[in-house]
């Protein structure tokens, strides 16, 4: 199981089972979804919302587009990465989770969050169903960003903070 946690107002890390850092994700500004992820080998991945409403987010590595997100007002994100489409959606009410599915609707990843009162922030548990996901840190960075985005959107609707809490 992977674990995501806040290490500040705008900075998050994703840890593996041995609590080793896989990547860092940092937002540029407090009220912005423009962000940068840093994965192994010092590779930087940039997330850039497009347009006024930010309905599309482009992902760049070395100024070359590697992925894109299409956002829905219904709490769903489609991630296009290396010719494949991943669906990221919020599921459940009493014990909500974020699910990641491939084009065949197979669950690849489930993310649950919990609010840590001592830190006044969220921690995220990533149950990796498709183990090959753990080997692709760029894809994990994209999924981590989408998870935080969706979590902030859904928690913002309920008034509990998300990315900024």
122, burial (CB in 10 Å: exposed 0-12, middle 13-18, buried 19+): buried
Mean pLDDT score of the chain, rounded to an integer?
86
Q: pLDDT (tens digit, 9 = 90+) per residue, 85-138?
A: 999 998 877 778 999 999 999 999 999 988 888 877 788 999 999 888 888 999
When pLDDT is averaged across residues 141-158 and rounded to a whole number, the result is: 78
Residue 34: how many CB atoms within 10 A of its CB? 13
CATH class of 2-158: mainly beta
């Amino acid at each position: 199981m992977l674990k995501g946690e806040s290490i500040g107002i705008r900075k998050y890390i994703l840890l593996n089972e041995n609590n080793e850092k896989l990547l860092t994700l940092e937002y540029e500004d407090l009220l912005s979804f423009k962000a940068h992820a840093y994965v192994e080998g010092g590779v930087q991945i940039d997330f850039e919302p497009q347009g006024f409403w930010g309905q599309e987010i482009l992902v760049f590595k070395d100024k070359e587009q590697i992925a894109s997100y299409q956002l829905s007002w219904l709490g769903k994100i489609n991630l296009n990465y290396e010719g494949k489409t991943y669906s990221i959606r919020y599921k459940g009410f009493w014990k909500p989770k974020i699910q990641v599915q491939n084009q065949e609707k197979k669950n690849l990843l489930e993310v649950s969050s919990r609010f840590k009162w001592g830190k006044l922030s969220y921690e995220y548990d990533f149950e990796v169903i498709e183990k090959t996901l753990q080997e692709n840190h760029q894809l994990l960075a994209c999924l981590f960003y989408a998870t935080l985005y969706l979590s902030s959107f859904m928690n913002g609707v309920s008034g509990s903070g998300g990315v900024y809490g």
